[in-house]
Structure 1
Protein backbone atom coordinates (compact mmCIF):
# COMPACT_ATOMS: atom_id res chain seq x y z
CA UNK A 1 0.00 0.00 0.00
CA UNK A 2 1.14 3.53 -0.67
CA UNK A 3 1.41 6.03 2.14
CA UNK A 4 -1.58 7.88 0.71
CA UNK A 5 -3.70 4.71 0.80
CA UNK A 6 -2.59 3.97 4.37
CA UNK A 7 -3.23 7.57 5.43
CA UNK A 8 -6.74 7.54 3.94
CA UNK A 9 -7.57 4.25 5.67
CA UNK A 10 -6.24 5.54 9.01
CA UNK A 11 -8.26 8.76 8.61
CA UNK A 12 -11.37 6.64 8.03
CA UNK A 13 -10.56 4.61 11.16
CA UNK A 14 -9.99 7.77 13.23
CA UNK A 15 -13.29 9.29 12.07
CA UNK A 16 -15.15 6.15 13.10
CA UNK A 17 -13.37 5.43 16.37
CA UNK A 18 -13.26 9.00 17.65
CA UNK A 19 -16.67 10.05 16.23
CA UNK A 20 -15.21 12.88 14.16
CA UNK A 21 -16.55 14.12 10.83
CA UNK A 22 -14.33 12.46 8.19
CA UNK A 23 -13.97 15.78 6.37
CA UNK A 24 -12.19 17.20 9.43
CA UNK A 25 -9.69 14.34 9.76
CA UNK A 26 -6.26 14.89 8.25
CA UNK A 27 -2.72 13.71 8.82
CA UNK A 28 -1.79 16.65 11.04
CA UNK A 29 -4.29 15.85 13.79
CA UNK A 30 -2.73 15.04 17.13
CA UNK A 31 -4.39 12.16 18.95
CA UNK A 32 -4.19 13.76 22.38
CA UNK A 33 -4.51 17.47 21.60
CA UNK A 34 -6.96 17.43 18.69
CA UNK A 35 -8.93 14.23 19.27
CA UNK A 36 -8.88 14.28 23.10
CA UNK A 37 -7.78 10.63 23.08
CA UNK A 38 -7.00 9.31 26.53
CA UNK A 39 -4.59 6.41 27.02
CA UNK A 40 -7.33 3.78 26.73
CA UNK A 41 -8.68 5.34 23.50
CA UNK A 42 -5.18 5.37 22.04
CA UNK A 43 -4.39 1.78 23.04
CA UNK A 44 -7.63 0.65 21.40
CA UNK A 45 -6.68 2.57 18.27
CA UNK A 46 -3.20 1.03 18.19
CA UNK A 47 -4.76 -2.43 18.45
CA UNK A 48 -7.08 -1.56 15.56
CA UNK A 49 -4.05 -0.44 13.50
CA UNK A 50 -2.27 -3.70 14.24
CA UNK A 51 -5.32 -5.71 13.18
CA UNK A 52 -5.96 -3.67 10.04
CA UNK A 53 -2.41 -3.51 8.71
CA UNK A 54 -0.60 -6.47 10.28
CA UNK A 55 1.99 -4.16 11.83
CA UNK A 56 3.14 -4.98 15.35
CA UNK A 57 3.41 -1.77 17.35
CA UNK A 58 5.43 -1.97 20.56
CA UNK A 59 4.50 0.16 23.55
CA UNK A 60 7.67 2.18 23.01
CA UNK A 61 6.83 2.81 19.34
CA UNK A 62 3.24 3.72 20.21
CA UNK A 63 4.48 6.37 22.66
CA UNK A 64 6.21 8.10 19.73
CA UNK A 65 3.08 8.20 17.56
CA UNK A 66 1.37 11.51 18.22
CA UNK A 67 -0.22 12.41 14.89
CA UNK A 68 -2.12 10.58 12.18
CA UNK A 69 0.82 11.17 9.80
CA UNK A 70 3.18 9.52 12.27
CA UNK A 71 0.83 6.55 12.52
CA UNK A 72 0.76 6.26 8.72
CA UNK A 73 4.56 6.51 8.49
CA UNK A 74 4.92 3.74 11.07
CA UNK A 75 2.43 1.46 9.32
CA UNK A 76 4.07 1.98 5.92
CA UNK A 77 7.50 1.11 7.29
CA UNK A 78 6.39 -1.84 9.48
CA UNK A 79 3.41 -3.37 7.71
CA UNK A 80 3.09 -6.82 6.20
CA UNK A 81 1.22 -5.11 3.34
CA UNK A 82 4.24 -3.34 1.83
Structure 2
Protein backbone atom coordinates (compact mmCIF):
# COMPACT_ATOMS: atom_id res chain seq x y z
CA UNK A 1 0.00 0.00 0.00
CA UNK A 2 2.83 2.42 0.84
CA UNK A 3 4.33 2.00 -2.62
CA UNK A 4 1.02 2.82 -4.33
CA UNK A 5 0.50 5.87 -2.12
CA UNK A 6 4.05 6.97 -2.95
CA UNK A 7 3.26 6.72 -6.68
CA UNK A 8 0.15 8.85 -6.22
CA UNK A 9 2.02 11.45 -4.16
CA UNK A 10 4.88 11.67 -6.65
CA UNK A 11 2.37 12.19 -9.46
CA UNK A 12 0.17 14.66 -7.55
CA UNK A 13 2.82 16.63 -5.66
CA UNK A 14 5.86 16.20 -7.88
CA UNK A 15 7.98 15.06 -4.93
CA UNK A 16 10.75 12.51 -4.44
CA UNK A 17 9.47 9.00 -3.63
CA UNK A 18 12.55 8.28 -1.51
CA UNK A 19 11.55 11.05 0.90
CA UNK A 20 8.15 9.46 1.64
CA UNK A 21 7.53 7.10 4.54
CA UNK A 22 4.68 6.50 7.00
CA UNK A 23 5.74 9.49 9.13
CA UNK A 24 5.83 11.92 6.21
CA UNK A 25 3.53 14.90 6.78
CA UNK A 26 1.64 16.08 3.71
CA UNK A 27 1.86 19.75 4.67
CA UNK A 28 5.09 20.00 6.66
CA UNK A 29 7.30 17.58 4.71
CA UNK A 30 5.77 17.69 1.23
CA UNK A 31 4.45 21.26 1.21
CA UNK A 32 0.96 20.21 0.12
CA UNK A 33 -1.74 22.86 0.23
CA UNK A 34 -5.49 22.26 0.44
CA UNK A 35 -5.86 21.91 -3.34
CA UNK A 36 -3.01 19.39 -3.45
CA UNK A 37 -4.65 17.40 -0.66
CA UNK A 38 -8.02 17.47 -2.42
CA UNK A 39 -6.48 16.15 -5.65
CA UNK A 40 -4.56 13.49 -3.72
CA UNK A 41 -7.74 12.34 -1.96
CA UNK A 42 -9.55 12.11 -5.30
CA UNK A 43 -6.71 9.99 -6.70
CA UNK A 44 -6.78 7.70 -3.64
CA UNK A 45 -10.55 7.35 -3.90
CA UNK A 46 -10.23 6.37 -7.56
CA UNK A 47 -7.40 3.94 -6.84
CA UNK A 48 -9.06 2.16 -3.94
CA UNK A 49 -12.73 2.53 -4.91
CA UNK A 50 -13.77 4.20 -1.67
CA UNK A 51 -15.12 7.56 -0.60
CA UNK A 52 -13.12 9.46 1.99
CA UNK A 53 -15.29 11.53 4.34
CA UNK A 54 -14.15 15.15 4.13
CA UNK A 55 -14.94 15.62 7.84
CA UNK A 56 -12.25 13.06 8.67
CA UNK A 57 -9.54 14.66 6.52
CA UNK A 58 -8.38 16.96 9.32
CA UNK A 59 -7.24 13.86 11.25
CA UNK A 60 -5.20 12.55 8.31
CA UNK A 61 -1.97 14.53 8.30
CA UNK A 62 0.63 11.85 7.51
CA UNK A 63 1.03 9.03 5.03
CA UNK A 64 0.64 6.57 7.92
CA UNK A 65 -2.65 8.22 8.94
CA UNK A 66 -4.00 7.67 5.43
CA UNK A 67 -2.80 4.08 5.38
CA UNK A 68 -4.54 3.37 8.69
CA UNK A 69 -7.72 5.08 7.47
CA UNK A 70 -7.73 2.94 4.32
CA UNK A 71 -7.19 -0.25 6.34
CA UNK A 72 -10.05 0.66 8.70
CA UNK A 73 -12.32 1.11 5.68
CA UNK A 74 -11.65 -2.30 4.17
CA UNK A 75 -8.80 -1.57 1.80
CA UNK A 76 -6.46 -4.56 1.65
CA UNK A 77 -2.77 -3.98 2.18
TM range (shorter): 0.7 to 0.9
Structure 2: 5+ residue stretches without partners: none
- The aligned length equals 76
Moved over 3 A (4+): none
Paired residue for 1:17? 12
SS of the residue aligned with 1:73? helix
- My pick for the range that moved more, 29-38 or 8-17, is 8-17
TM-score normalized by structure 1?
A: 0.83
Root-mean-square deviation (Å): 1.3
Structure 1: 5+ residue stretches without partners: 1-5
TM-score normalized by structure 2?
A: 0.87
